[in-house]
Chains A and B, each alone.
Chain A
Amino acid sequence: MARVVIMGGGVSGHTAATFAKKWLGKKHEVVVVTPNSQWNWIPSNIWVGVGEMKKEEVVFPLAPVYKKAKIDYRQALALSIHPEGKADSDTPYITIQYTEEGRVGETEEITYDYLINATGPKLNFDATPGLGNGEGQMGSNTVSVCTADHAEHANHELKEIFEKAKEGKKQKILVGTGHGLCTCQGAAFEYIFNIEHEAKKAGVRDNIDIKWISNESFLGDFGMGGLHMKVGGYVVSSKLFAESLFAERDIPWLIGAHVSKVEEGKAHYELLDGTTGVEEFDFAMLIPPFSGVGLKAYNKNGEDITNTIFAANGFMKVDAKYDAGAYENWKASDWPRTYQNPNHKNIFAVGIAFAPPHLISKPASSVNGTPINPTPPRTGMPAGIIGKAVAHSVCDMIKQGDEAHLHEASMAEMGAACVASAGKGLTTGTAAAMTVYPVVPDFETYPGTGRDTDYTFGEVGLAGHWIKHILHHMFIYKAKLYPGWTLIPE
């Protein structure tokens, strides 16, 4: 019997665990270690953040699902990896610390034959002074929609702003990225338009100024260097599309911005052109930058080998080309295909947990030398596809031996679809549905643009909103492993 341990139960980890168990059956053991007791469909958090959904609608308890699937579920935080075992044993293991009620703080070693790192990101609020509380958590100056709890809190704060606006008090809302190296612009993009939509519905839009702040060098970059959109029958760039959306809703923007410090009611920023400024706000939702979760790695002798397994940003090294050098040398082939750790063939990293070889967008720094560019998105559809591919590889290795052919899911050969909400409502909702192929531009295959323009497109409208709503129910259905769940694509 082989044991597969999956650290993390988000989109990629849950996908990997559930498919691995389905393919391996009773003969082998699948263990999931995640500090969370609930699974969260993160794309719908923005609706919780404006009160259009309750937290309970975007989360569900993991324990009954894993019990049904016969997956060994440990509600615990993974602390360290010991790929060579320890002095008296060659069996690799990880150490975990329980977060489950009644076992909080209890530690345990779990041995593994295969390890999948799907820990996702650490929300690195403290990278920006004042954005965090100095202890790794969100501070009190801003809100976030990165987790369901954060989103619930954001909605509570937002409603207070709406109440003040109803009393005739002018309010200022700032939404965007809280650091020059953030990813996930899409979540902030959706949130700002949902706030605007709700403010209109509440009849308080006239008393609320809303502003966008982002580290993108142009609106519509989305961390992918932009894409095409089909709007009203015409093909337009995501730049024009985004600019139009903001202009039509009377939302001014600040781009190429690194938020350097946050104080109560104030965000200090530096722009790519080197200028600095302060943006005042009554309510701010600023996405934090991501980093690795801080896992440590030790060799057989107990010596720290974290640097050989993880990149400097804390994400795990996989089969990517990390020494590609200057921007001009970057290639699509630099991106990982199998997500296997180069030093330990039984360790994989999926979703946000793998270290990307470099950015997708053009790298940029301000004239003062501050890096200001979106980091590569690795969430959503790619995370699910990668999780499934790695589960397939691990299952094949268990059944056929370590020389089994590994399954590949390169983001440079993978298309992705994304639906970005711009307001919720059965008849008044709006969303932009986009597809991009490939996710990582391939400048050798598609000179100039890096993408296949026949497969990179989008459309905005009510149908997009319905699609997003349908996807919400579909993916929660799939994650709950209801009948036919394997038929629903990632």
Chain B
Amino acid sequence: MIQPIKYYPDNSINVNAGPIRSFKENYNNMLTDIIDTMKEHNLDALSAIQIGYTYQLMVIKENEEYCAYANPRIITQNKPFDSTEESIYFKNHAITVKRYEELSIVYDDKNGDMKTKKIDNKEEASTFQRKVDYLFNTTLLDRLNPNQREQAIKALAGKGIMPDKTDDYCPTFSKKEYFVSVTDKLLFFMFISLLLPLFNISKETLDGWYTYDKFAFLSVIILMISFFFYAQYEAKKYKQCTSCQIGNNIGVMLKRIISSIILTIGSYFILG
């Protein structure tokens, strides 16, 4: 039966597919659905997860034959190259990623027997790697570095394919960064103020900087406490934000508070 294909930014594809454990009726039905969907959309390859089955099964069309690969694993990979690929998930928007030309793979056939295969041409190898990636919660975007990824997301948006704005995911830019940015600027000028006595600057001016340092110290404390509570709010708002980020947030907060204390002590002795 033809199944609806998932398209970016549908993030239900972001899940580790489980291994195929049984090669009976359910497996055959799933395989039939994948092949029917491939025929309907004239596709050369499709992973089960792309039509909503969270299982490690993929089909590649080879010489007009639909070959099923269950539980595929890439054991060795050699000869890296830049591969410009299109995927139905991204509505055939081309993205360039690093792939390997030579692969040695193992997989289970339709009877559940393990088979091996060597692949040594770029097109077949890149298709295989892309489909395996889908089974391990990896899309083309995940193979890019952060800058390339941002550019690719913008390019997709330019074609009318917008990132999904759901509450499930942390935003790529968080408003809590504003707290950090302002704090860093305050700390920077606190540091600069400690160098001022090296120059021929009037006592009144130095007194003014000393007053700035005291206010900046208080501001840093308030900003960092506010940062922490806002970060906690975001962690609850975005379900996928992990508890480990609390550790990171505490780290961000402590680092700056300690810096401000050191700078304030320095200011007290140098400017005060």
Contacts and interface: CB of A to CB of B under 8 A. Distances in A.
- Are A and B subunits of one complex? yes
Interface of A: 217-218, 225-228, 230, 232-237, 239-240, 254-256, 271-275, 327-328, 330, 362, 364-365, 367, 433, 435, 441, 443, 447-451, 453-454, 457-459, 461-464, 466-467
B252 to A, nearest CB: 9
B244 A273 contact: no
A463 B73 contact: no
Given A236-B137, A239-B138, A273 B75 contact: yes
A218 B244 CA distance: 25
Interface string B124-168: 000000000100111000110010000000000000000000000
Given A236-B138, A466-B247, A273 B106 contact: yes
A237 B138 contact: yes
B53 A448 contact: yes
A256 B16 CA distance: 19
Interface in B1-59: 14-19, 21-22, 53-55
6 contacts: A217-B106, A225-B19, A226-B136, A240-B143, A255-B73, A453-B15
9 nearest A-B residue pairs (beta carbon) = A448-B54, A463-B247, A459-B244, A328-B22, A237-B137, A463-B248, A237-B136, A448-B18, A233-B170
A435 B244 CA distance: 10
A362 B106 CA distance: 13
Contacts of B189: none
B172 interface: yes
A111 to B, nearest CB: 46
A87 B253 CA distance: 69
A367 B195 CA distance: 70
B137 A240 contact: yes
B3 to A, nearest CB: 15
B259 to A, nearest CB: 12
Contacts of A228: 15-16, 137
Contact of A240 (B75, B138, B243, B244): B138
Contacts of A256: 73, 75, 106
B105 interface: yes
B114 A230 contact: no
Contacts, number: 127
B197 interface: no
Given A271-B75, A328-B21, A454-B239, A367 B116 contact: yes
Contact of B15 (A233, A274, A449, A467): A449
A230 B106 CA distance: 28
A462 B251 contact: yes
Interface string B221-261: 00000000000000000011111110110110000000000
Given A273-B106, A273-B116, A459 B137 contact: no
B76 A273 contact: yes
A453 B168 CA distance: 12
Interface in B55-98: 55, 71, 73-76
Contacts of B247: 433, 463-464, 466-467
B104 interface: yes
B208 interface: no
A461 B248 CA distance: 8
A418 B249 CA distance: 20
B272 interface: no
Contacts of B76: 254, 271, 273, 275
Interface centre among B17, B55, B170, B247 (most CB of A within 10 A): B247
B169 interface: yes
Given A457-B242, A464-B244, A441 B18 contact: yes
Given A226-B136, A273-B116, A462-B248, 19 more contacts: A218-B136, A228-B137, A230-B242, A233-B169, A237-B137, A272-B75, A273-B75, A274-B116, A330-B21, A364-B106, A433-B242, A443-B18, A443-B21, A448-B55, A449-B16, A450-B18, A454-B239, A457-B240, A467-B247
Contacts of B239: 454
Contact of A273 (B55, B104, B133, B240): B104
A367 B71 CA distance: 15
A331 to B, nearest CB: 10
A414 B197 CA distance: 61
Nearest to B115: A367
Contacts of B250: 463
Interface centre among B22, B133, B170, B242 (most CB of A within 10 A): B242
